């Protein structure tokens, strides 16, 4: 009887951890979506140029090239980071899968290596298919 009682207490204790939601915001999809939109507009903020020096993406204050960010999902990381964002253009909504690195310094046991900031745009259907890479010009960024 004592063994059965201890077993029931153990199972009850274990079920608390298995069936408890540890993420407070996971129950509120609107809050999670808003956090992801804020994240995706804040971290890669700035002006991004192609290899020829042409301005391609301007990300500032919740807008990409003047189009408002209306949705974001699959947000990961911070710096480096990535997300799929949906912007509202004049022709309608358009989704962009992107990843970025801004001002990254990698310290190894031997030296410190600077990684040039970049913004990579990927195919929406194939996460591994890189469409293009854009570069960040210092002095053209928002503070975040």
pLDDT mean across residues, the chain: 80
Peptide bond into 107 cis (omega under 30): no
Domains of the chain, by residue range, sit at: 2-136
DSSP run (H or E) holding 97: strand 92-101
CB 115 within 8 A of CB 102: no
Predicted confidence (pLDDT) at residue 144 exceeds the cutoff of 60? no
Q: What is the pTM of this model?
A: 0.68
Please, which pLDDT band fits residue 67 given cuts at 50, 70 and 90?
A: very high
Strand partners, 66: none
Query: Per residue in 6-24, pLDDT tens?
Result: 777 777 766 665 655 444 5
């Amino acid at each position: 009887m004592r063994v059965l009682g201890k077993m029931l207490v153990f199972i009850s204790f274990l079920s608390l951890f298995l069936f408890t939601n540890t993420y407070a915001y996971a129950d509120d999809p609107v809050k999670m979506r808003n956090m992801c939109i804020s994240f995706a507009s804040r971290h890669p903020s700035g002006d991004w140029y192609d290899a020829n020096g042409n301005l391609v993406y301007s990300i500032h204050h919740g807008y990409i090239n003047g189009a408002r960010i209306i949705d974001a999902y699959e947000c990961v990381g911070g710096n480096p980071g990535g997300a799929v964002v949906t912007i509202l253009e004049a022709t309608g909504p358009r989704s962009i899968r992107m990843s970025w690195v801004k001002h990254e310094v990698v310290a190894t046991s031997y030296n410190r290596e600077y990684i040039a900031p970049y913004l990579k745009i990927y195919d929406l259907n194939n996460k591994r298919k890189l469409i293009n890479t854009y570069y960040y010009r210092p002095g053209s960024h928002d503070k975040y």
